[in-house]
Amino acid sequence: MTVHAEPVAELPDPADYGLTVVEAEALPAELIALVDQVRALADAVAHTEADPAELAEAGAAVAALTERLGATRRMTGAMLRQRHPDGRIEYNTLTNLVSGPVNPTAPPLELTEADGGLRGEVTLNGTYQGPPGLVHGGWIAAMLDQALGAAAGVAGMPGLTANLTVDYRKPTPLNAPLTVTSRVTGTERRKVFVSAEIRHNGEITAEGTAIMVQIALPG
Ligand SMILES: CCCCCCCC/C=C\CCCCCCCC(=O)SCCNC(=O)CCNC(=O)[C@H](O)C(C)(C)COP(=O)(O)OP(=O)(O)OC[C@H]1O[C@@H](n2cnc3c(N)ncnc32)[C@H](O)[C@@H]1OP(=O)(O)O
């Protein structure tokens, strides 16, 4: 008998697998604000031409803050739980590289349901640079991977990326609004086929397809 990937009846609670679960509404606004400040700091550091004395002073101030905040540390695999008004529950890793709300490295790309899939808007600063003024190709792949994985997840078929193909159609600009879209296109046994695009000014700059494989959780 062939069993095709289909939405899981109920998502497992990550807490049952020993993972910390943080409710989205329980994240302090002060943490979200701090993370945003650190993103701006990273951009300032990456582009500063301050003199050595000022750099040394800034370095000491940042080191002191790192020690202070590092004193209370969450586990690496902590999960974010979002409860939607329609009762749907969504999980993501709290520090997800692309979408994690508390990861200063994440832009973050926020994806919401639209047109039978997902859609998000994002503007990337100079810390995502590859060629001059353009988004790094690896980062483009990362955003597509996230949009592809989340499309399978939101359709109730969370899995791992087995295969990812990216076509870079046009240069993707920094400091300009980008639109990311994704959707499930089919299933076969445990495989979930997904496709995604990145657009600037309505034109596709990159597109990707992936095979996400539904994972069999232990127990
Ligand atoms: C605890 C609570 C959880 C709560 C829920 C959370 C929900 C979150 C939802 C949403 C947000 C998340 C968004 C994330 C976005 C980012 C995703 C990533 O970056 S994932 C990291 C990178 N990927 C890896 O690290 C995978 C490493 N690879 C593996 O672990 C295995 O290879 C795996 C699981 C992918 C497959 O291994 P097998 O042993 O389970 O299955 P086999 O039998 O090998 O393959 C199954 C089918 O897939 C095909 N397949 C496997 N690999 C393929 C490949 N490379 N290309 C094409 N087909 C492939 C095979 O041919 C087979 O197909 P046939 O059914 O026989 O037709």
Q: What is the pTM of this model?
A: 0.94
Distance 188 CA to ligand 1 centre (A): 13
pLDDT (tens digit, 9 = 90+) per residue, 112-154? 999 999 999 999 999 999 999 999 999 999 999 999 999 999 9
CA 94 to chain centre: 9
Percent of the chain with pLDDT over 90: 86
The residues lining ligand 1, judged by C-beta closer than 6 Å to any ligand atom, are 11-12, 14, 17, 91-92, 145-146, 149-150, 153, 158, 160-163, 189-191, 211, 213, 215, 217
User: Which domains, from first to last, does the chain contain?
Assistant: 105-214 (3.10.129.10)
pLDDT (tens digit, 9 = 90+) per residue, 49-60? 999 999 999 999
CA–CA distance, 50 with 48 (Å, rounded to integer): 6
Closest CA to 98 of 44, 170, 148: 148
Closest CA to 89 of 183, 146, 184, 8: 8
Distance 32 CA to ligand 1 centre (A): 31
CA–CA distance, 44 with 38 (Å, rounded to integer): 9
Give the helix, strand, coil percentages of the chain, each rounded to 5. Answer: 30, 30, 35
- The ipTM, to two decimals, is 0.94
CA–CA distance, 35 with 124 (Å, rounded to integer): 15
